[in-house]
Amino acid sequence: MSSYRQVRVLYSFPHRLGAGRICHTAWHQVAGLAAAGAQVTVHAASVQQALPHNVDVRPTLSRGRLRIPFRVVGKLRALAIHDYLVARRLEREAGEIDIVHTWPMAARETLRTAARLGIPTVLERPNAHTRFYYELVRRECEHLSVTLPRAHEHAFNAAVVSKEEEEYALSYRLLCPSEFVVNTFLQQGFPPEKLARHGYGYDENLYYPADSLRPQHSGLTMIFVGVCVPAKGLHYALEAWLRSVAHRDGTFLIAGRFLPAYADRLSSFLSHSSVKVLGHRDDVPVLMRSSDVLVLPSIGEGFGLVIADAMGSGTVPLVSDACTDICKHMKNALVHRVGDVEALTRHINMMHENLATRQTLRAGCLQTAPTLTWAAAGKRLLDTYRDVIAAGQAQSAPNPDPITRTASVRGR
């Protein structure tokens, strides 16, 4: 890798870099790229957590400690302002940029400008094709008789779909962190060559294993971590848990905020004495280390960051087949089909009853974990950039003179 010329990246992120959820993901992505040797210039709305010294940070919606709150100007307008400013800056810096990395809902003008300047672009896809995902969630909510608030991020929004689909078309490549995401775009008719693979990671300084397995006689501890909404499939996990023998002397921890209507729908499950609803927690690494298994039965998942966290902690993932492809059934995880409560119940029972299998899967997690760090993800993303840049150069290369080309072919 050291023989490669340093890749110069313009990284556009329209939110508060280093805050929660995707802001956390983006921060680690940038830090991983810098550690891998990329020259990164970050244009972020604002920055909550300082980045490595070799990253050039240029805020768009803040100066010093002053930030323009999205609620003041409106979220969509703030995203558009960020996009406009990054596009104008790109005009001035075009000769110093090899690739542009953008995020959804704030990329249209930047992508157009980069295309005009001949600079390849990637658009981050942290989750499935948006229209596909909205429909997936709608069906699950109907199945549960749960109504999402109109402003909820999973509720259908025609303006979001329209803008994101325009961004899909304008981007040179869509960055997909899992095969699930890839497949949702293929199902919508996108050509395979439009889709570039990469992945996310976990922080090994926070998520690391306990010295040994918890004793079997203490009962199985299963944990769910994340927002508690229908798309995460928590209802399937609760049903499987209460069907299993593990619930008799075990504990199911739920760390995350509930959508109120969803909590009401699941109230009979949540009131069981073996289920502990913890709400949002800041001590997730500690909770992970003190748990035997993580459950994530999502109906759709962009990557499943908590799965990487769990593997780094030596906590065995029990996941649906819509989750990240880092899970290998009976190697480092137990995988069930989406909505298959019977299979998930069997998997919980197996973890409760068979300590040897749990030990084997835990060892598989710890063997996989070094390939899932954010540093490893940064190297993979940088390699993806190089592939995208090479493809862009090949596509833009002038066609050889047809007479010369014909003579060359005949002379072989």
CB neighbours of residue 187 within 10 Å: 11
Domains 8-201+373-396 and 216-371 share a fold: yes
Helix (H, G, I), strand (E, B) or coil at 199: coil
Going from the C-alpha of 275 to that of each of 127, 129, 173, 222, 255, the distances in angstroms are 29, 34, 43, 10, 11
DSSP string covering 89-140, please? HHHHHGGG-SEEEE-TTS-HHHHHHHHHHT--EEEE-SSS-HHHHHHHHHHH
Going from the C-alpha of 117 to that of each of 87, 89, 114, 222, 330, the distances in angstroms are 11, 12, 5, 52, 49
Out of 2.60.120.260, 1.10.1740.10, 3.40.50.970, 3.40.50.2000, select the CATH number for domain 216-371. Answer: 3.40.50.2000
Q: Give me the tens of pLDDT residue by residue for the chain, a chain 412 residues long.
A: 445 689 999 999 999 999 999 999 999 999 999 999 999 999 999 999 999 999 999 999 987 767 777 777 788 999 999 999 999 999 999 899 999 999 999 999 999 999 999 999 999 999 999 999 999 999 999 999 999 999 999 999 999 999 999 999 999 999 999 999 999 999 999 999 999 999 999 999 999 999 876 666 679 999 999 999 999 999 999 999 999 999 999 999 999 999 999 999 999 999 999 999 999 999 999 999 999 999 999 999 999 999 999 999 999 999 999 998 999 999 999 999 999 999 999 999 999 999 999 999 999 999 999 999 999 999 999 999 999 999 998 887 655 443 333 333 333 3
Backbone angles phi, psi at 67, to 5 degrees: -125, 150
Instruction: Map out the domains of the chain as residue ranges.
Output: 8-201+373-396, 216-371
Q: What angle do CA 205, 285, 124 make, to 5 degrees?
A: 75
Handedness of CA 274, 280, 284, 286 (dihedral sign): negative
How is domain 8-201+373-396 classified at the architecture level of CATH? 3-Layer(aba) Sandwich (3.40)
